[in-house]
């Protein structure tokens, strides 16, 4: 089963390794409009300097994804294939309906709300967690390295 394969490989703790290209700035600009709900200039500058940590956990059939930084944390949980209400508090502060599904070995999320064509994809490649964030034809690509701490110490 793909879900078990994903669970064995992706669950864990990952640290930001690389932003791919200039996608974050253009992605954040799309989220910025209209203010005040979007990501402003000061927030973009702070976000680019943060050392993100992603923690992915699973409790029974519920996945929990945490984004942890010294500035702000964001946590959400979902069941694959079940739509849920999401409030991106601390990110761009928007309400949307999200649906996470499997497409091959990737988890894809589509988000319906104020912004069009919004969502993300997560997958493992070469023991790195890849994350692509989508919004209105802009893409932000991030790569995370697995935490090297022994199990139970992250």
pLDDT above 70 covers a percentage of the chain that reads: 66
* Mean pLDDT along residues 129-144: 90
Q: Region of 127 please: left (phi>0), alpha (psi -120 to 50) or beta.
A: left
Q: What confidence score (pLDDT) does residue 154 get?
A: 44
For the chain, first and last CA: distance in Å? 27
pLDDT at residue 13 tops 80: yes
pLDDT at residue 153 tops 90: no
DSSP helix/strand/coil, 90:
coil
**Spatial separation of the C-alpha atoms in residues 104 and 122, rounded to whole Å:** 11
CB 57 within 8 A of CB 63: yes
55: its two tokens: 């923690």
**Helix ranges restricted to H, 21-131:** 23-32, 41-49
| Residue of 150 and 149 predicted with greater confidence | 149
Domain range list for the chain: 2-146
**What are the pLDDT digits (tens) for 94-121?**
788 999 998 888 999 999 988 888 899 9
Q: What confidence score (pLDDT) does residue 140 get?
A: 85
**What are the pLDDT digits (tens) for 26-73?**
666 666 655 445 455 565 566 566 678 899 999 999 999 998 988 788
**pTM of the complete model:** 0.77
Architecture of domain 2-146: Beta Barrel (2.40)
């Amino acid at each position: 089963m793909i879900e078990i394969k994903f669970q064995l490989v992706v669950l864990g703790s990952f640290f930001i390794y690389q932003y791919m290209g200039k996608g974050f700035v253009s992605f954040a600009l799309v989220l910025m409009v209209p203010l005040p709900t979007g990501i402003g200039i000061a927030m973009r500058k702070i976000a680019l300097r943060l050392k993100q940590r992603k923690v992915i956990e699973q409790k029974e059939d519920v996945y929990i994804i945490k984004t942890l930084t010294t500035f702000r944390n964001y946590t959400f949980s979902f069941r694959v294939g079940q739509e849920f209400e999401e409030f991106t508090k601390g990110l761009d502060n928007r309400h949307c309906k999200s649906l996470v599904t499997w497409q091959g070995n990737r988890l894809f999320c589509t988000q319906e709300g104020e912004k069009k064509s919004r969502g993300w994809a997560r997958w493992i490649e070469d023991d790195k967690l890849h994350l692509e964030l989508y919004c209105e034809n802009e893409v932000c690509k991030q790569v995370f390295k697995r935490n090297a701490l022994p199990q139970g110490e992250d």
